[in-house]
Structure 1
Amino acid sequence: MTSRRIRIDVPALTRVEGEGSLRLEVRDGQLHELGLSIFEPPRFFEKFLEGREAEEVVDIVARICGICPVAYQMSALNALESLSNDSPGHWVQQMRRVFYCGEWLQSHALHIHLLALPDFLGFDNAIAMAERHPNEVKRGLQLQGLGNSLIRLFGGRSVHPVGARLGGFHHAPEAEDVRALIASLQQAQSDAADLTRFCARLPLPEDPQTFISVALHHTDCYAIERGTLRTSTGLELTADQFEQHFHETHKPDSTALWSDFNGEPYLTGPLARLNLNYSQLPPFLQQRLNEIGLSLPCNNMFMSLIARALEIELVIAEAIRLLQDYMHPASPFTPLTLQAGSGYGMSEAPRGLLWHRYELDDKGLIQAARIVPPTSQNQARIEADLHRSLTAFGLDNDEDALRLRAEQVIRNYDPCISCATHFLTLEKQEIE
């Protein structure tokens, strides 16, 4: 009997950084065992928050991720502000959505142009791709820069922004700055539409599979900064019901947490959002779906690339809509008094659902915190996808082909900036 062992080592698939490896064991032409092993050094962010005043949380959690700081701030604010009898005003709610649109724009533009497109255009990295496709790379950098400008407008800076606070923002942008940014957003709309069409023309693999989609849903709009949790199995949950159905566990070969939904892997992120919320898309994007021939719900993870492009169009249009009648408020925040208790909050990071829980005492100090990011929620789904996708792809393919397919599958989930880079070492050993 011939036994072949294939080992693939990949960059970390953790929340932000770390080390990871993918181990494949093939026996008699069948994938006998697949293990996605994650090493994540202790980062202690949840412990850092214990004993802190509630007002400090917003700036601390912004440091968890350099790509999704707004997501961590908005989920934290949703959780903490649930402990108040008052709520931020209409202006704050609208501008928080604009703030979040900036993060989706910069993150999706970076992923599509610098991380994913080289896969499908036949290049090792974006620098090599730029020699043959300079306009595509330029477009990606411009869209990413525009997203950063939106974040900076409210956050003071685009990396680890400091503008958000309980009840609103520390400052309100000046009207002339808003008008200038609206003009840039309007100019970018044609580029965003071209990007969607470009992605739809790519030879994306046909790779149908079965999975559970999980995302926020809002009756009035495409859910970003708030909503109730919806699953493709028919559940609709509030933030305080999350822990009844979603669980985190450690695996023996991994230091990162893995999540399940009632014992099953599940998908969160752009494709899950589209699957559950496509009816909330504005009319021009409903037309775009017809134009590119994308039917929803969709069961091909490679269509996540197109989902991100569609969401870029969405957030540009949303930012324009929300800013076009901008007026400087009398105050950029509403003073809030928080009560002791458990606060729950969630929002949609670019990569998917981000859930927070905080225990606040009667002195306004954090006694306990729990944060469940989208990358850890998708890890079990990534492993299941790798097992099925590599088997369907063909385990007899050479090492380079197997490595590329594994990278492509992983990048569909855009787990983080560091773990989506274009290198993957592969060690293959055949044992007689």
Structure 2
Amino acid sequence: MYIPITVDHIARVEGKGGIEIVASDEGVKEVKLNIIEGPRFFEAITLGKKLDEALAIYPRICSFCSAAHKLTAIEAAEKAVGFTPREEIQTIRDLVYIGDMIESHALHLYLLVLPDYLGYSNPLAMVDKYKKEIEYAMKLKNIGAKIMDVIGSRAIHQENAVLGGFGKLPTKAQFEELKKELKEALPVAEYTVELFSKFEQYAEVEDREMVHMAVKPRNGVYGIFGDYIKVSDGFEFPVEDYKKWIVERVVEHSFAKHSFYREKPFMVGAISRVVNNADLLYGKARELYGKYKELLRYDNCFANNFAQALELVYFVERAIDEIDEILAKWPIKPRDEVEIKDGRGVSITEAPRGLVAYTIEVKDGRVAYADIITPTAMNLAIMERHVRMMAEKHYQDDPERLKYLTEMTVRAYDPCISCSVHIVRL
């Protein structure tokens, strides 16, 4: 007799999702990730809107990674109208994006994942015994938010980022203050790597067929922006061809579509970036990569947590270097005029949770077409596969332990469920 085991709400992830497992003593019959957030029609909402109005709407897809959505949409829009930003503007945009990376990774690792490894139901319960870790979480989270606030005008929904550059730029003194605080945060980021090196559960999920996608950084440095996508099977494709290689499908139990590459699920995120681009790391992050390389396994989704810890070190270091690059070119003109012409542009960047893809078509100064695929929408198919693998290994365990382990598997992906739910045609 098959018995359903249900997680109505996956804890400590953004958005509303559940897990349904149907199993018996004979094995697992069915596993579903039920994504039950209501569809939010961001592509459709922006159709017919003036381009600058649409660019203010797209970041509202997500507060966790609003900078990722804003800057990816801006790049797609600028490509559509045939505009290329100056190098120093691109560097400042990269710095804003890095703020998003630092804040998001710190939040996920310390407040959403660490309770799993330490045996707590929530981060508040950890305060008495792990006060230092909570303080470190806030230090890292706050510097990431401050970067976005100082440069983007606010920590969430950075309206100061506009076509052609920025509405205004911070003062030189403000950049120098950010650099000082980043230097103070670097030892905390390094502590995060040492902390999470102790916690990985690699024996639980092993997927030798796992395929990873990541941006091929255009500047030759491990990072966020690029014109090609690298696949861990050795294939590369231009971002403009993503609809050929990232195929979305509607599934009956989810308001979010699942994504496939060559008919198979694939993964995006921190571990996918490391798998594809580790040779581009530098500084302390490269040193730590060499020390802990065996933990950064391509075949295990739990390695994503440790990869995020490694990226915290890298992105703190990279932010310091970028501030030096900005100050070396000071003063910087904040914005160039952008002539709005008809066209179509595609941008794929590395959000904290993995690839985010935007296509924007502009006609008569308004959005004529928009397509967005978010990291969680790309990860849902392989996430469901790994939840099933966990269930198949532990279906005979106590049901509460099974629920705990399958939720933990989902959390390893750092999903943003609300982001993943857009237009669905039935």
Q: TM-score, normalised by structure 2?
A: 0.92
TM-aligned CA deviation for residue 57 of structure 1: 2.4
Residue 346 of structure 1 deviates from its aligned partner by 1.1
Give the secondary structure class of the aligned counterpart of 1:82: helix
Deviations 1:66-124 (A, max 9, x none): 01011101111121111244311011011111111100000000000000000001111
CA RMSD in angstroms, aligned pairs only: 2.0
For the residue of structure 2 that corresponds to 1:140, the secondary structure is: helix
Three-state SS of the structure 2 residue aligned to 1:67 is coil
Question: Counterpart amino acid of 1:273?
Answer: R
Q: Is the 8 A contact 1:120 1:204 kept in 2?
A: no
Q: Matched residues in 1 for 2:356 and 2:344: separation?
A: 17
1:355-394 matches, cutoff 5 A: 355-361=357-363, 363-392=364-393, 394=394
* 1:46 alignment counterpart: 43
Q: How does 1:171-190 map to 2 (within 5 A)?
A: 171-190=168-187
Question: Secondary structure of the residue that 2:109 maps to in structure 1?
Answer: helix
Structure 2 stretches of 5 or more lacking a match?
420-426
Shift of 1:172: 0.9
Give the C-alpha shift of residue 404 in structure 1: 1.0
- CA separation in 2, counterparts of 1:146 and 1:225? 22
Question: Equivalents in 2 of 1:298, 1:256: separation in Å?
Answer: 25
Q: Contact 1:75 / 1:354 at 8 angstroms: preserved in 2?
A: yes
Q: Is the alpha carbon distance of 1:418 and 1:99 closer, same or farther for their aligned partners in structure 2, counting shifts above 3 Å?
A: same
1:138 aligns with 135
Shift of 1:358: 1.3
Q: How does 1:48-197 map to 2 (within 5 A)?
A: 48-197=45-194
Structure 1 residue aligned with 2:345, among 337, 343, 346?
A: 343
Question: Matched residues in 2 for 1:296 and 1:386: separation?
Answer: 20
CA distance in structure 1 between the partners assigned to 2:417 and 2:256 by the alignment:
17
- Selected match of 1:25 from 22, 26, 30: 22
Measured against aligned partners, the alpha-carbon deviations of 1:117-167 in whole angstroms (never above 9, x if no partner) come to 000011111001111110001100110000000111211110112110111
Residue of structure 2 in register with 1:424 after alignment: none
Q: Secondary structure at the match of 2:128?
A: helix
Of residues 181-190 and 290-299 in structure 1, the stretch that sits farther from structure 2 once superposed is 290-299
Aligned to 1:208: 206
Provide the C-alpha distance between the structure 2 equivalents of 1:412 and 1:196, rounded to a whole number of angstroms. Answer: 16
Give the letter for the 1:378 counterpart.
Answer: N
CA distance in 1, matches of 2:12, 2:226: 26
Deviations 1:169-188 (A, max 9, x none): 11111001111111110111
Structure 2 CA distance for partners of 1:125 and 1:90, relative to 1, 3 Å: same
Cα shift readout 1:354-375 (whole Å, capped 9, x = no counterpart): 00111211x1111121111111
Give the letter for the 1:386 counterpart.
V
Which shifted more, 40-49 or 322-331?
A: 322-331
Q: Relative to structure 1, is the Cα distance of residues 256 and 85 closer, same or farther in structure 2, using a 3 angstrom cutoff?
A: closer
Q: The residue matched to 1:190 in structure 2 has which SS?
A: helix
**1:104/1:147 contact within 8 Å kept:** yes
Q: Which moved further from structure 2: 304-313 or 227-236?
A: 227-236
1:106–1:144 Cα contact (<8 Å) kept: yes
For the 8 Å contact 2:344–2:362, the answer to whether it is kept is yes
Measure the CA separation in 2 of the matches of 1:227 and 1:297.
26
Deviation of 1:13 after TM superposition, in Å, equals 11
The change in CA–CA distance for 1:88 and 1:283 in structure 2 (over 3 A counts) is same
State the AA in 1 paired with 2:206. P
- Cα offsets for 1:280-333 (capped at 9, x unmatched): 110432221232353655322111111001111111111100102414444211
Residue 333, structure 1, aligned to residue 335, structure 2: yes
Structure 2 Cα separation of the partners of residues 179 and 286 of structure 1: 25
One-letter amino acid of the counterpart of residue 402, structure 2: L
Moved more, 382-391 or 222-231: 222-231
The residue aligned with 2:314 is 314
Distance in 1, matches of 2:292 and 2:390, equals 25
- What SS is found at the alignment partner of 1:83? helix
The alpha-carbon deviation at position 410 of structure 1 amounts to 0.4
Check whether the contact 2:12–2:112 (CA below 8 A) recurs between aligned residues: no
Give me the whole-angstrom Cα distance separating, in 1, the residues matched to 2:125 and 2:349. 36
Q: 2: CA distance between counterparts of 1:257 and 1:203?
A: 29
User: Which structure 1 residue ranges, 5 or more long, are not aligned?
Assistant: 420-432
| Aligned-pair CA distance for 1:42 | 2.7
**1:208 aligned partner, one-letter code:** E
The CA distance in 2 between the partners of 1:64 and 1:215, in whole Å, is 22
Q: How far apart, in 1, do the equivalents of 2:408 and 2:122 lie?
A: 13
SS of equivalent to 2:258? strand
Change over 3 Å in CA distance of 1:331–1:241 after alignment to 2: same
SS in 2 for 1:228: strand
**What is the distance in 1 between the residues matched to 2:12 and 2:257?**
11
1:225 counterpart residue number: 225
Deviation at 1:5, TM superposition (A): 3.1
Q: How many residues align?
A: 414
The answer to whether the 8 A contact 1:109-1:144 is kept is yes
Cα 1:93–1:50 shift into 2, 3 Å: same
